[in-house]
Amino acid sequence: MKFVSTRSAEIENNASCAIVKGLAEDGGLFVPQFFPDLSGDIDKLCEMDYAERAAYIIGKFLDEYQTQELLDACKAAYGRFEDGDPAPTVKISDDLFVLELFHGPTLAFKDIALTLLPFLLRNGADRIGVKEEILILVATSGDTGKAALEGFKDQKGIKINVFYPSDGVSDMQKLQMRSQKGENVNVVGIKGNFDDCQTAVKKMFSDRRLKTLLANKNVVLSSANSISFGRLVPQVVYYFSAYCDLLTAGEIEKNEKINFTVPTGNFGNILAGYYAKKMGLPVNKLICASNSNNVLTEFFTTGTYDTDREFYTTMSPSMDILISSNLERLIFELSGRDHKLTEKRMSELKETGRYEISAEELSKLRADFDAGYCDEEECREEIFEIFEEYGYLADPHTAVALKVCQDLSYGTKTVVLSTASPYKFTQNVLSAISGKHVKDAFSAAEVLEEETAAPIPKQISDLRTAAVRFDAVIDKNSTEEVVLKFVSEK
């Protein structure tokens, strides 16, 4: 299969090139030329385990990768998850299910893609003859950074530099990144928010001068953010897998349409659900759940994307985003794959902070999506109420989605995507559950375990004695200097 840029009809690459490059030369995002139809394959997928489902679905897009190599890579990646199941579906009530995506090495849904991406990237680079060292640049709002660091640590021929908002992640998320092991990793805080991190990274990808300087050092850039199709495609799998699991368990009938409610920041997670629907998965509505940074809710309501608003730092930091990069891929599809119109809108966003879609496009958007948001107080209440009523312990991101789900599901069976372990946000979850305020994250974890009987994950316990390796915090305009220094280190 070939991949095209959202901003230029002339840019066309195979899967390996698209994954290695991460971002198209024109600043656009790579999208597949078409979406494979899997509507007749649901029964077949039901008979497979998760790794087999992943290899089958991903292989439809990455058809140049050898089938057995891809299957072996999926088995190796997902064998690192608790009980070998990266995406179990938990029944909350007759109409409500939670798809738990946090059972991987770093306790976040990003693990599902980032345990597999090193194979996709290295294999793709070898396939197209890339001999240079690959430098992966990552902007993170909390979870992507640690998952990418863990996935790529000590990978031969690869370095990875992660930028995070210094005051915009939880204590546990920050410690996870700053204590990361590996000889090929670098972690740097930025004075600002996630949008500042993301803008800095995207700017470096389009900076020809920087690329020349890196080329002189025998280095090429790549990405592990969800702007990379290699990050996005593994996420399509768990939508199909959840549907298959519900069908196999007798919770739904064949071809029954269900909703998926997704806590949404950079729009990659819910976009994967949209891709699954375009591939034939029986989806009724994809419900986009936002926190107080509700730019997406307004967009789905009005058709206007406007970032000129107050930015909130919340207890669900992975959603503290005003510029949702993956929305560009959806805009491209809504426009009838109009490269020029998509490029125009992205230019308007860069220059004015806003753009609008047409009434016809908004109608198409509403046919597939609904959207709502949940403020901080409602999030706390939801954490408490879902635990009180069902005994289910939810992190703040999942709580946002659960609240929006109750507002918008309309009685249709709904799967809520749970994106992180509650133990990554111990103080906030404990406060919501019990009213107790414990400043230290590890002490809070111990109290939370006592209050709920939910065991502290080993990944959290091990952090207590982890040594901090990276404590640098820089201005957002100093990222290029950091990157050049990092690639010069042996």
Task: List the one residue out of 419, 170, 416, 407 whose CA is nearest residue 297.
Answer: 407
> Which amino acid is present at 467?
A
At 355, which helix (H) or strand (E)? strand 354-356
3-class SS of residue 485:
helix
C-beta of residue 247 within 8 angstroms of C-beta of residue 254: yes
Instruction: Please list the residues that pair with 185 across neighbouring strands.
Output: 160
User: Residue 111 and residue 114: Cα distance in Å, rounded?
Assistant: 5
C-beta of residue 404 within 8 angstroms of C-beta of residue 261: yes
Token pair of 40, please? 């007749």
Rg (CA), the chain: 21
Token pair of 180, please? 């990361």
Task: List the one residue out of 174, 163, 80, 164 whose CA is nearest residue 119.
Answer: 80
End-to-end CA distance of the chain: 38
DSSP codes, 322-339: SS-TTHHHHHHHHTTS-H
Token pair of 450, please? 């006592």
Q: How far is CA 429 from CA 174, 309, 448, 451, in A?
A: 17, 27, 8, 11
Tally helices (H) and strands (E) across the chain.
22, 16
User: Residue 89 and residue 46: Cα distance in Å, rounded?
Assistant: 14
Annotated catalytic sites, by residue? 110
Q: How far is CA 149 from CA 128, 257, 478, in A?
A: 24, 37, 21
Number of neighbours of residue 12 by Cβ within 10 angstroms: 15
